[in-house]
A and B are shown apart, each in its own frame.
Chain A
Amino acid sequence: MSDALPFVVAGWGVILGGLALYAVTLLRRLAAARRAAGDEPAPHEDRG
């Protein structure tokens, strides 16, 4: 079996990195949309 280490790193790295990237982008988009919408959350949402 060829040296698996680079693949383990690539596998985990891309996945954890991708998750982090998506999360950060999501938070940014959410902040921007809320600002644009005048920051009035609907009653059922929590602002946390």
Chain B
Amino acid sequence: MKTRILGAVALLAVAAASVNALFIVPADLNQGEAQRIMYVHVPSAWLAYLSFGVTALAGIGYLWKRDLRLDHVALSAAEIGVMFTAFAIWGGMMWGQPVWGVFWQWEDPRLTTTALLLALYVGYLLFRRLTDDPHRRAARAAVVGLVAAVDIPIVHFSVEWWRGLHQGPTIGSPDRILNPAAPMQFVTALLAVLGAFTVAWAWLMIRRYQLAAAEARLEDAARRTRVAAARRATVAAARAEEATR
């Protein structure tokens, strides 16, 4: 019941914040309407990072406690994180075309870092599917997720450095929205979308976790059935052998 209420709140919040960002807040002086994309691009990126942080921590937690529920959390966060990362890249590209004139800009550290982020965690999800035993899968995933998480600050650093040698695009760093001089209304609009999306994220996490737990129970039941069937077959074969002697 509580989750349903959370879901309803999330829905309303996202609707309200979106309407505000799209129709109520005035357009930016420099970037015009294109800047509205930032209201959904920036929160997506933040939630992506939040998600992958959760994946890494849940992984460490599993390695420590060996509780499969933590692995469910890691899986949920990774899947949801991949979604938000894709959103962030999409938003970045949609913003880039009107503002920079191109969909992709190698000198933008955010875009390139986010692309690598997507690659890292899609890899994580694909990797998970290759192991069937739940505990082995959880341990391997935790380790892979950890190294991926460790890589991210390094990627940040190096891509910033990389860009620093060529002056970045002067118009439109996507983060202009956050500078101290930004009008209050813009900041509020951004925070509203961020808050709404975070509530939605929480609801998605809960539901995805429940799905993971349910699927784990199914996997478990299926395995027990297989083991029982194998045992019966072995017994039957032994009896048959006895009978023919």
Contacts and interface: CB of A to CB of B under 8 A. Distances in A.
Nearest to A21: B83
A1 B32 contact: yes
B151 interface: no
Contacts, number: 100
A47 B3 CA distance: 8
Q: Is the interface of A mostly helix, strand, loop or mixed?
A: helix
Interface in B11-65: 14, 18, 22, 31-34, 36-37, 40-41, 44
A3 B98 contact: yes
Contacts of A46: 1-3
Given A2-B101, A30-B211, A37-B217, 18 more contacts: A1-B98, A7-B37, A7-B94, A7-B97, A7-B98, A8-B22, A8-B36, A8-B94, A11-B40, A15-B91, A16-B18, A26-B211, A33-B214, A33-B218, A36-B214, A36-B218, A46-B1, A48-B2
Contacts of A29: 211
Contacts of A34: 214
Interface string B74-111: 00000000010011001100110111010000000000
